[in-house]
């Protein structure tokens, strides 16, 4: 590990003013410390943000919820308002990591965790995300856990978060503060596809700090389901995951959300697929049509082509479970 300096500011403005191009903000450290130990990331300065006032969960004026960036994954998953009104989010968080990690990991950090591509963590191999222009050995190498949607010549990695899949389905908003002030980023615009610049995971500008995440009032609490499929029953990243949410009017779908994890560089949604469900009965033919639309254009590699059919079945099952009612 390289030497680094350490600062622990008490105010958000102070933290932002300390930031330099070779700085990293640190909170729970559940991903950043691994990256530093593996020499993937070599910050010259760590700015410890754990003393900043970003640990509250508050209702917003429009009936939504504002979640401070430092709220731990455990506290968020077990918060009564989240369990009652946003069970999809609670289910997704509890499907990830382990209790110990969820106690340390924060809301902001969950958004910013980096891919678990094996080559990204192995500094003895090339990797366009770690060393731009060096190549992507995953394309012709071990790619079981990699993308089937939205990948590029430069990178086929996936975003590893469960929580973010639910936040995408719920259409959360990310609040960030930086040298130019505060701005709000729609969740769909926060993470990015790799294109030619896979070193950039998200649309944050230099020095910007995630301060909170806001949920709208619509929580789809009556009909939602988070389905995670993985190689072992716990403490594993998703091969494929689905956050499904429905609003039903009797036996008719009034609105629908479907977001996928484990398949792309960002949580994957497609409004056209969701629109196909509006006005339909919540049955298998409708869910299959939506799955086909969501997966249009999917393409796999030597070891992960199975994810396409797995995704199709997972979408249908998650929507079927959502139609039955939300598990709590």
Kindly tell me which residue out of 117, 175, 224, 294 binds ligand SF4, with binding defined by CB under 6 A. 117
Q: Does 128 bind ligand SF4 (CB under 6 A)?
A: yes
Which one of 6-14, 55-63, 128-136, 315-323 is the stretch in contact with ligand SF4 (CB under 6 A)?
128-136
Q: How many residues bind ligand SF4 (CB under 6 A)?
A: 14
Q: For residue 195, which of 235, 158, 154, 167 has the smallest C-alpha distance?
A: 154
Determine the interface stretch with ligand SF4 among 28-36, 73-81, 134-142, 174-182 (rule: CB under 6 A): 134-142
Beta strands in 92-195 (DSSP E): 173-178, 181-186
CB-wise, 58 or 131, nearer to ligand SF4? 131
- Greatest Cα pair distance, the chain, in angstroms, is 62
Report in angstroms the alpha-carbon separations of 224 from 17, 115, 147, 199, 276: 42, 26, 25, 34, 18
Cα dihedral 164, 170, 171, 174 sign: negative
Q: H/E element holding 18?
A: helix 12-18
167 binds ligand SF4 (CB under 6 A): no
Nearest distance from C-beta of residue 36 to ligand SF4, angstroms? 17
Is 264 a binding residue for ligand SF4 by CB under 6 A? The answer is no
In the complex with ligand SF4, the residue whose CB is nearer, 9 or 126, is 126
Query: Kindly report the CA angle at 45 between 40 and 46, in degrees rounded to 5?
Result: 80
Contacts 24+ apart (CB under 8 A), 49-55: 49/9, 49/15, 49/25, 49/209, 50/8, 51/8, 51/9, 51/10, 52/9, 52/10, 52/11, 52/12, 52/15, 53/12, 54/12, 54/108, 54/211, 54/212
Question: According to CB under 6 A, which one of 19, 25, 86, 120 is a site residue for ligand SF4?
Answer: 120
Quick one: which of 25, 86, 119, 220 contacts ligand SF4 (CB under 6 A)?
119
Contact between 263 and ligand SF4 by CB under 6 A: the answer reads: no
Stretch of 10-18, 104-112, 130-138, 168-176 contacting ligand SF4, by CB under 6 A: 130-138
Closer CB to ligand SF4, 153 or 251, in the complex: 153
Among 32, 40, 69, 156, indicate the residue that binds ligand SF4 (CB under 6 A): 156
Q: Give CA–CA dist 258/269, Å, rounded.
A: 6
Shortest Cβ 139–ligand SF4 spacing (Å): 7
What is residue 233's DSSP assignment? S
Residue showing tokens 């790619």: 143
Exactly one of 52, 138, 286, 323 binds ligand SF4 (CB under 6 A); which one?
A: 138
Interface with ligand SF4 includes 115 (CB under 6 A)? yes
- 75 vs 57: CA distance, rounded Å: 9
CA angle, residues 170, 174, 177, in degrees to nearest 5: 170
Q: How far is the CB of 262 from ligand SF4 (least distance, A)?
A: 14
Q: State the binding string over 196-235 for ligand SF4 (x if CB under 6 A, else -).
A: --x-------------------------------------
**Contacts to ligand SF4 by CB under 6 A:** 115, 117, 119-120, 127-129, 136-138, 155-157, 198
């Amino acid at each position: 590990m390289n030497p680094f300096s350490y600062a622990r500011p008490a105010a958000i403005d102070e933290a932002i003013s300390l930031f330099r191009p070779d700085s990293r903000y640190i909170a729970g450290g559940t991903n950043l410390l691994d990256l530093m130990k593996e020499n993937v990331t070599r910050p010259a300065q760590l700015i410890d943000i754990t003393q900043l006032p970003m640990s509250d969960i508050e209702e917003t004026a429009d009936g939504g919820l504002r979640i401070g960036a430092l709220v731990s994954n455990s506290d968020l998953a077990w918060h009564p308002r989240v369990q009652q009104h946003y069970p999809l989010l609670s289910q997704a968080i509890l499907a990830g990591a382990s209790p110990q990690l969820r106690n340390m990991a924060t809301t902001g950090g969950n958004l910013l965790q980096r891919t678990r591509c094996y080559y990204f963590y192995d500094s003895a191999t090339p990797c366009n995300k770690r060393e731009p222009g060096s190549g992507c050995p995953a394309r012709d190498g071990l790619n079981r856990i990699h993308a089937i949607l939205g990948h590029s010549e430069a990178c086929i990695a996936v975003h590893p978060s469960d929580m973010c899949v639910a936040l995408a389905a719920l259409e959360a908003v990310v609040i960030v503060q930086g040298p130019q002030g505060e701005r709000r980023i729609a969740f769909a615009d926060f993470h990015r596809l790799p294109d030619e610049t896979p070193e950039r995971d998200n649309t944050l500008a230099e020095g910007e700090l995630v301060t909170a995440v806001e949920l709208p009032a619509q929580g789809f609490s009556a009909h939602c389901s988070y389905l995670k499929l993985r190689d072992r029953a716990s403490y594993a990243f998703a091969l494929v995951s689905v956050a499904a949410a429905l609003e039903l009017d009797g036996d008719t779908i009034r609105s629908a959300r479907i977001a996928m994890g484990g398949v792309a560089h960002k949580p994957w949604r497609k409004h056209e697929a969701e629109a196909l469900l509006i006005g339909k009965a919540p049955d298998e033919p409708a869910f299959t049509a939506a799955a086909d639309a969501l997966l249009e254009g999917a393409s796999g590699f030597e070891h992960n082509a199975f994810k396409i059919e797995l995704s199709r079945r997972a979408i249908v099952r998650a929507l079927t479970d959502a139609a039955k009612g939300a598990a709590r």
